[in-house]
Amino acid sequence: MKHFIIMTIFTALFGSNTTQSDNVKILSSSDFKTQITNKNVQLIDVRTPDEFNSGHIKDAKNIDCFSGQFNEEFNKLDKTQAVYIYCRSGSRSRQSSNKLLAMGFTEIYDLKGGILNYN
């Protein structure tokens, strides 16, 4: 019973990597690049400002997922248009995608493996 409770707590805290919402699509680096190239998209980097300033995808907007301004900044975006989101390795963007779903965003594309995987 103790083991079950511990596993339940870990699952609640960290979620399952196998579950993917129909509204959040995980894209490979090449698919992500193809979809954002030469298009006017809502491209969001959810890393810290220091990480963003050390290098980011062209035309990305920085909204730190740990910032107290996260909801306020995302509420300025169009919830009916696709959002392309990434972080360093994919963890923060996955967490942010779940927040965006709860906020009413309907189409979210997450870069698999984050910017570390971006070619």
Q: Give one word for 18, left, alpha or beta, with left for phi > 0 and alpha for psi -120 to 50.
A: alpha
- Write the burial class of residue 98 (CB in 10 Å: 0-12 exposed, 13-18 middle, 19+ buried): middle
> CA 81 to CA 71: how far, in whole Å?
17
Is 65 labeled as catalytic in the residue annotation?
A: no
Query: Which of the residues 43, 63, 83, 87 is marked catalytic?
Result: 87
Question: What amino acid positions are annotated as catalytic residues?
Answer: 87
